[in-house]
Structures are given as structure tokens and as C-alpha cells.
Amino acid sequence: SASLIAFGLASTAASADPAGCDDGEMVIKFSHVVAATGHPKGDAANILSERVNKEMEGKACMQVFANSTLFDDDKVMEALLLGDVQLAAPSLSKFEAYTLKYRLFDLPFLFQDLDAVSRFTQSDTGKGLLTVMEDVGYTGLGYWSSGLKQFSADKPLLVPSDASGLKFRIQTSDVAEAMIEAMGGSAQKLAFKEVYGALQTGVVDGQENTWSNIYTQKFFEVQDGVTETNHQVLAYLLVTSTEWLNGLDPEIRDQFVKIAEEVTIAANDAVAETEMKNRQNIIDAGGTVRELTPEQREAWVSTMKPVWEKFTDDIGQENIDAAMAANA
Ligand code: LMR
């Protein structure tokens, strides 16, 4: 019947644009660079938008743009200030232009595991660091962990000296650059969406990332193997424009911030499992994962840890101490 057809069309339209916004709803656009699903950030962004769209129906409406389809991580920071998007979650390695305090999170072998990262981000010091960019227009709503980082290259890496002479793609982080140089390699800063092509064509020889990024971006397919170094955390700042946040109706703001806080906790609790799944997915897809002996691991630690010293003044010794205290 006509009404069934009309119903069918309407539901098709609704599912093609699940966050179709109604008149009068405040639109919250969230732009990120990773896979839309099966990844800690992709999944967390979807859970956040589902909750906002259900619980704030009639008041707010969230649309998520994954896979760098809207902005990369450099552009998204400008877009937040311009009001082109309202939410983003770049890695904490990518805020060098706004604060040097987040260099803390890049210090190699700082956190012993993801639980330590959670304990730190929930501590007074961790929470205090959410607001260090307010003078330049940004407020952090929470930290989203994504996992520990692993190295991959076009040849086997078992000790840091295996990386000598190789070029590695890094995020826009001077700590990462210092780390690669300590290994005898050279570093090239590239946007996330360019990494696969750069590895494939040999513009760079290797990279460092989480299991979830290495699997969902298929980096393992164009690398000899992945070495389980767990050398650094990859975590994001769920970030918005301070002006936008402060301009919200207080009731709407409180509801939105509360949802964001709850989703942050749930998302962080799910990371370890997603990461282990994607580690296994790499192996199942024919990728090589290399584990380190305790002696090999010690070689990575002793090569990389000396870079801390270069960044202590930027970060503040008290922040480093608080992070170390989060290790059990
Ligand atoms: C990267 O650039 O490697 C990561 O920051 C990407 C991401 O958002 O996980």
C-alpha cells in the first residue's frame, strides 16, 4: 500500500542518516580520523552520539564523521574555533601548538599499562590538565585511551638498534622525534590518513601505533611485522571549544557533559579488549607479531627513557611524578 511504501522510504532515509537532525535541535558535529567501528575511538564516538541522540532528543543531535572524511587532526583544531565542528578527539601527541604539558603522555615507558593511564587521568592532576588550553580556546571533556603503541617496519625489529637508519612516520610530536632519534632512526611527521600510502610506497620504512590502528588501517599488510614494544600510550583528548561550551544553556551543558563523562568511563573500560581483539585479527589475517624477551625489552627501555630529561621542564616534574604514582 501507499502508506507502507511511504513508511519504507522514510525508514530508509532515517537509516542512511541515523543522526538526521530535527528543527530546533542543536547540532553537535564530531570529526575524527580513525575507523568508524571496531576501534576504541570509533566505537566511543558512536556510543556518545547514540546516547546524545536518545537522551537529548529535541534538544541536541550529534553527527559523527569518521576516517578523516571531514577534517584531519590539524584542521580540526581550527574548525572547532570556527564552529564548523563542536567535538574532536585528537591524540594527546598533537597539541604541541597549544600546550607543551601534554608531552607528558608521550614519555616512553611512563605508564605500565592501561589501568595506570586510567588511574592517572582520573586523578586531580590528570583532571587539572583538561583545562590547560582554555586561554587558547579549548576545553577537554575527558581522556579516551586507545591502547599502547607498537613498532612496525619493513624489516624485523627486536632491539632498538635494528631501527638504525630507518625512517619512521610519527605524529606531530617532538617527544616521538627524540625517541626515534635515540634509536638511530629518522622521523617524519605525517597526517594519519597518509600513513598507509607512505608505508606502501616506501616514503617511510616503519611506524608506531596501537593494535587497533595497525589492524583497521591495514598497516601490517605493508610491513614485515609488528613488534610488541608497548612503549607508549596512545590517548585522546575529547575536546571542544571553550566558547561553544560556555555558551550552552546551563541545563543542556550539564546533561551533555554528564553523558560525555559516563561514555568516557565506559569507553576506557572497553579499550583493552578491543586492542587484544585487533592484535589477534592481525595474526589471523596473516600478519607477523613479534614478542620481546625481557632482555630485548630492557634494551628498548634503556634506549628510550633518556629522552624524558629533554622535556621535563615543559611538562613539570610534579606532573611526571603524579603519572608515575599511578603505576601500581
Ligand atoms: C595517529 O595519527 O597515528 C593517531 O593519532 C591516529 C588516531 O587518532 O588514533
The closest residue, in CA terms, to atom 1 on ligand 1 is 192
Does the beta carbon of 238 sit less than 6 angstroms from any atom of ligand 1? no
What is the atom index within ligand 1 of the atom nearest the CA of 94? 5
User: Residue 20: its pLDDT value, please?
Assistant: 78
Range list of H helices, 33-144: 40-55, 73-82, 114-121, 124-128
pLDDT reported for residue 120? 98
User: How far apart are the C-alpha atoms of 221 and 198, rounded to whole Å?
Assistant: 13
Q: How far is CA 29 from the centre of its chain?
A: 17
What pLDDT does 37 receive? 96
Q: What is the pLDDT of residue 5?
A: 41
Query: What is the predicted pLDDT for the residue at 218?
Result: 98
Supply the ipTM of this predicted assembly.
0.98
Q: Residue 240 is inside which H or E element, if any?
A: strand 233-241
pLDDT at 19: 59
For residue 69, the CA-to-ligand 1 centroid distance in Å is 14
Spatial contact of 312 and 250, defined as CB atoms under 8 Å apart: no
Q: Is the CB of 232 under 6 A from ligand 1?
A: no
Rounded Cα distance, 166 and 262, in Å? 42
- Which segments of the chain have a pLDDT < 50? 1-17
pTM of the model: 0.93
pLDDT tens, residue by residue, 10-59: 333 333 345 579 989 999 999 999 999 999 999 999 999 999 999 999 99
Q: Is the CB of 192 under 6 A from ligand 1?
A: yes
Cβ of 173 below 6 Å from ligand 1:
no
Report the DSSP pairing between strands 150-153 and 225-227: antiparallel
Sheet holding 233-241, edge to edge: 60-65, 26-31, 87-88, 233-241, 138-148
Residue of 74, 152, 171 best suited for mutating to test ligand 1, as the one with most atoms within 8 Å of CB: 171
3-state secondary structure of 211: helix
Expressed in angstroms and rounded, the spacing between residue 226 Cα and the centre of ligand 1 is 17
Q: Dihedral of the CA atoms 109, 104, 129, 240 (nearest 10)?
A: -100
